[in-house]
Amino acid sequence: MATQDSDARNATPIERARFAVRRLTLTDFRSYGALRLDLDPGMLVITGANGVGKTNLLEAVSLLVPGRGLRGARLSDLAKSAQGHSNAARAAGWAVAARVDGPQGPSDVGTGWQGNAETELDADSSGASARRTVRIDGETQRGQAQLSGVMSAYWLTPQMDRLFQDGAGARRRFLDRMVFGWDPAHAGRVAAYEQAMRERLRLLKGDRAPDPGWLDALEETMVTKGVAISVARLDVAGRLAHAAAEGWGPFPGADVTLVGDVESRLAAGPALAAEDAFRDALAAGRAEDARTGRTGAGPQKSDLVVRHGPKGQDAALCSTGEQKALLIGLVLANARTRAAEDGGLPVLLLDEVAAHLDEHRRAALFEALDEIGGQVWMTGTEVDLFRPLQGAAQFLSVADGGAITLN
């Protein structure tokens, strides 16, 4: 296998205009004490019995972008010493490092946790702990937002099959992961908005009357960041809607809309008018927000509404199989749009994606992934499901104890 550095030097700009993990190193992460993998930039198939650590590999890659990863786990639960123990807060640390190819060339990316229970408790409401260490090309970063500039990844897990049944928060996170790829600054705006929102609620619920100047300043941060968040979401939702409406073979077209109070104001007029209206809503809602302990207006209330295009039916009312097909269709639509418009094709992490698809849909999925290009990680217990990819994908087999062999 050629080395990553020689690949990067010889690649054309088009070939490099995608993200790919070329080397992955794990230290005391989940089921892996020490692991290093050198990887191809295309499709990867990871097979093995249940419980041997296939999904752990995908989770490690998902932590190279902002957020809590594909499982949304506590930092302490990711440590190998925490596996099988009830008190995960006593766990030692862990680390994930990777050499990543991106549109701007290769980068060395790393993240980890030092095994401090106090640090674990410092996580914010989105689960993105400011204390999780992030390093890019040897430089320690102040937070996770900078990861969006050097790595882009998107994932589907069996737990996401309930996306259209779950609350609006899950769908916002689904959309935000797409936005991170298009607009790396989005992660920082979301973090700043949530921090200001939490601080505002703390002041409103306090025993003393809040300082009016400080309250105004927090609400101003929420207004500027919040409207910018909605603008970015609307932009990506619009791109997604255009591609998703077309469908892809057995994956039906979908009607996609982002709805919310800020989005409605943006649709009705300029961004400055939307900021004024949001500012007024926050000021008018102070008493009610203090009573309920929740912010009643803002982009944290928005929802991504998806309908089955050919049937004209709300996704939540579709069958389980139709919902799965819609979900895969949205991911393919995002990848196809990224490949066509800016070339920054994200790494796709597809956990057990083939297990519940019939042969026709599996074939269509493999064909779509091959046509889009880019690096795709797929897991499964049955290698036979992936036989059509023999010769086109790198096959890895995981055994008990985390031993990995390249097939």
pLDDT digits (tens, 9 = 90+) for 24-70: 999 999 999 999 999 999 999 999 999 999 999 999 999 999 988 99
Q: Cα 242 from chain centroid?
A: 21
Q: Which residue has the tokens 């799965």?
A: 324
**pLDDT at 400 (0 to 100):** 83
Q: What SS3 state is found at 148?
A: helix
Domains 1-39+57-152+344-376 and 162-336 agree in fold: no
Q: What's the residue count for the chain? A: 407
pLDDT digits (tens, 9 = 90+) for 285-302: 999 999 999 999 999 999
**pLDDT in the model for residue 2:** 33
What CATH fold (topology level) applies to the domain 1-39+57-152+344-376?
Rossmann fold (3.40.50)
- pLDDT, averaged across the chain: 88
Is pLDDT above 50 for 319? yes
Q: Is 325 helix (H, G, I), strand (E, B) or coil?
A: helix
Whole-model pTM: value is: 0.85
Instruction: Quote the strand ranges of 196-291, DSSP E.
Output: 254-259
The helix-helix angle for 185-204 and 168-182 (nearest 10°) equals: 140
- Give one DSSP letter per residue of 46-107, joined into a string: EE--TTSSHHHHHHHHHTTSSSSTTTT--GGGGBGGGTT-S-GGG---EEEEEEEEETTEEE
Q: How confident is the model at residue 91 (pLDDT cuts 50, 70, 90)?
A: low
Question: CA–CA separation, 231 vs 238, rounded Å?
Answer: 11
10 Å Cβ neighbour count for 278?
24
State how far the Cα of 227 lies from the Cα of 281, in Å rounded to an integer. Answer: 13
Confidence at residue 201, expressed as pLDDT on a 0 to 100 scale: 96
What is the crossing angle of helices 320-341 and 212-244, to 10°? Answer: 100
Domain boundaries, the chain: 1-39+57-152+344-376, 162-336
Q: Is the pLDDT of residue 383 over 70?
A: yes
Name the fold adopted by 162-336: Glutathione S-transferase Yfyf (Class Pi); Chain A, domain 2 (1.20.1050)
Q: What are phi and psi of 83, to 5 degrees?
A: -65, 120
Query: What does the pLDDT average to over 244-267?
Result: 94
Which residues are bridge partners to 377 per DSSP? 44, 349
Q: List strands edge to edge, sheet with 105-113.
A: 32-38, 20-29, 94-102, 105-113, 133-136, 139-140
Instruction: Name the least confident of 16-20, 60-64, 183-187, 222-226.
Output: 16-20
